[in-house]
Amino acid sequence: MNGAWGMEFVRLGVLALLGLVVGLLSGELGWSMAAAAAIALGFHLLQLYRLHHWIVNDEDRNNPPDAGGVWGELIDVLYRFGKRHRKRKERLARLLERFNEFTGAMPDANVVIGPQNDIRWMNEAAVSLLGLDQPADLGQRITNLIRYPEFVQFLRRGNYSEPLEFPAPRREDMRLSVRVVPFGNNERLIAARDVSHFYRIERMRRDFVANVSHELRTPLTVLAGYLETYADMAEEMPPVLRPSLEHMQGQTARMQQIVDDLLTLSRLDSENAVAGDQAEVAVPGIVSTLREDAEALSGGRHEIVAEVDPALRLRGEAKELHSAFSNLVSNAVRYTPDGGRIELRWVADPGGGARFEVSDSGIGIAPADIPRVTERFYRVDKDRSRATGGTGLGLAIVKHVLQRHGARLEVRSRLGEGSTFACVFPPGRALRKSTEARAV
């Protein structure tokens, strides 16, 4: 028992003793003890009143009332606690002020939204970049204020591994890159950055590549024509020149293929993000044609089989899909050693869509190379790619075509065991007719 409680018990004992003595002397013991209890209760009520008055009046917060015993100790503890609380509050206020200065100076827009897409906080850059109004838009759903369809679908889909690019709501000349970071209790941080400069540079690069490729097409065609003429006159040429002529023809053909692929990529880049032709595509017929092309390219060096669901169709652009699938098939033939097996599959996807797969028993791809195989001019085996006539652009074309069809490319491979490239299309693209599946 500490000193404060000891003093209280002494005070109470003295008061009770006085009441007892007065009661015995006066013969009114009950009234005397009641009076002593009333005095004790009044004393504590007075101390409670002083404590309450001190707590509820901010102007007296730094002037605690004087009291002894338990009340004095309680007031002292509350005073110290309040002092620490005020210091902590002032420190947090300074930190919040610094945070607001920091976020206000940031060039990127930052918005915190809740589980229902309601805006809970935003910085000043969100006003200029995203067209929001502070504080009027606080509590509003951001999907009601930014109505760009891809942005709304991006938030609804919940897959934030890749950023989304779209025009700024109030400035068509500005391009934004938006990332979403989940945190806390189902909250999300939306970070938007102005990437107009990079977008313009990328557009200039695409235009430059397209123009150069277009300009190269004519001289390459002329050169190929002369080489073909010289090839027809090969018997009249010295034998020492014939291998050089064949080599020039091969390199010219390869350059023409590179130019054609660059022009194809340029066209895919310049067109809308979504394939414009939404006609029904008979993919089973495309697969059958690709198998025949693969057998001709293989020249009997590989076993080529196909599994086709003839009832499964696709909504999209036939020429683009044929180009993408053809690149996968030709790669499989090029990178599979003689005697290997190549499988083409056009089947329903377990997720409700459709998938086109090309599997081979070729050289395989190292895990470190898989994320980069769709980059332009990236080659896993540079020497082998040149020897087989690869341009390093085929998988880049595949990636662009699939993006325009809302699909994705899955790559599974192990060195020395082969690879599987799968084009996975969403359910909205798949169509089905009443025909049973068959193997080709």
3-class DSSP assignment, residue 275: coil
Angle of helix 318-334 relative to helix 283-298, nearest 10 degrees, comes to 30
What is the distance between the alpha carbons of residues 332 and 280, in angstroms, rounded to a whole number? 27
Q: What's the pLDDT at 18? A: 84
Q: What's the pLDDT at 356? A: 93
Q: What's the pLDDT at 263? A: 73
Tokens 């895919």, residue located:
268
Q: What's the pLDDT at 94? A: 83
What is the distance between the alpha carbons of residues 286 and 312, in angstroms, rounded to a whole number? 12
CB 370 within 8 A of CB 413: yes
| pTM, full prediction | 0.53
State the SS3 of 15-58.
HHHHHHHHHHHHCCHHHHHHHHHHHHHHHHHHHHHHHHHHHHCH
What is the distance between the alpha carbons of residues 87 and 420, in angstroms, rounded to a whole number? 63
Q: Which residues on neighbouring strands pair with residue 418, listed in sequence order?
A: 414
Rounded mean pLDDT for each run of 10 residues along the chain, 440 residues in total: 70 82 80 84 82 76 74 80 84 79 76 92 87 88 88 85 84 86 88 85 73 76 82 79 81 77 69 60 91 89 91 88 90 89 92 90 85 75 52 80 87 88 89 58
User: ω into residue 115 within 30 of 0, thus cis?
Assistant: no
User: Taking the C-alpha atoms of 294, 295, 298 and 302 in order, what is their torsion angle to the nearest 10 degrees?
Assistant: 110
CB 407 within 8 A of CB 421: no
* Cα 315 to Cα 12, 31, 399, 426, distances in angstroms: 93, 100, 17, 10
What is the distance between the alpha carbons of residues 329 and 73, in angstroms, rounded to a whole number? 86
Domains of the chain: 3-101 (no CATH), 106-194 (3.30.450.20), 198-270 (1.10.287), 279-439 (3.30.565.10)
CB 414 within 8 A of CB 366: no
pLDDT averaged over every residue in the chain: 81
Q: What's the pLDDT at 438? A: 47
* pLDDT, tens only, 197-217: 887 877 777 777 777 777 777
Length of the chain equals 440
Angle (CA) 401-402-406 rounded to 5° is 125
Q: What percent of the chain has pLDDT over 90?
A: 16
Tokens 């945070």, residue located:
99
